[in-house]
Copies of this chain bind each other. A is one copy, B any other.
Amino acid sequence: MKTPKVERLKINYKTLEEFQKFREYGLQELSMLEDLQSNIIENDSNSPFYGIYLDGQLIARISLYRIDAKYDRYFKPAQDYYELWKLEVLPQYREQDYGTALVNHAKSFGLPIKTNARCRSNDFWLKMGFQPVNYDPVRDRGENPFVWLPPGVQLQ
């Protein structure tokens, strides 16, 4: 299999319709739809989502949200980092490394990444070179944070 192409998703009605196929469709997606309908955002603006298309259909996606260094409570030195969420591959396309391709794309930006490893996905994140943090109840609030550290970056 050749390496799948990861694209930054455009916000438009087609993308939002495709998002409905994903399990984690919620207020973020609805708010994008409302902003589009009321022209608060332009059709075809860049979204925080990246995805993989197969035969013209979106089959996998991820959201990457850049957090400003002043809010960083994970990394040393404190710096801008990406919060990664909504990594999801449609059921019939799983176990084919599409998730891996999306995470590698996130890593290619060179900033630290923090995610919330859900539903016992620890093994996947470890395989991707992520590590668990020391759980801090005030900071982590029930999350299961795993982080990826580029060279030269440490945990706080």
Q: Are A135 and B23 in contact (CB under 8 A)?
A: no
In chain A between 9 and 32, which residues have their CB closer than 8 angstroms to a CB of chain B?
A: 23-28, 30-31
Q: Are A145 and B27 in contact (CB under 8 A)?
A: yes
Across the interface, name the chain B residue whose C-beta is closest to A67.
B141
Interface residues of A, CB < 8 Å — how many?
30
Which of B25, B28, B140, B143 has a CB less than 8 Å from the CB of A137? B28
Segment with Cβ contacts to B, from A52-60, A73-81, A93-101, A112-120: A112-120
Across the interface, name the chain B residue whose C-beta is closest to A26.
B144
Q: Are B142 and A83 in contact (CB under 8 A)?
A: yes
Across the interface, name the chain B residue whose C-beta is closest to A145.
B27
Which of B27, B65, B85, B117 has a CB less than 8 Å from the CB of A132? B27
Q: Are A133 and B65 in contact (CB under 8 A)?
A: no
| Residues in B whose Cβ lies below 8 Å from that of A48 | 137
Residues of A within 8 A of B (CB): 23-28, 30-31, 48, 63, 65, 83, 85-86, 117-120, 122, 132-135, 137, 140-145
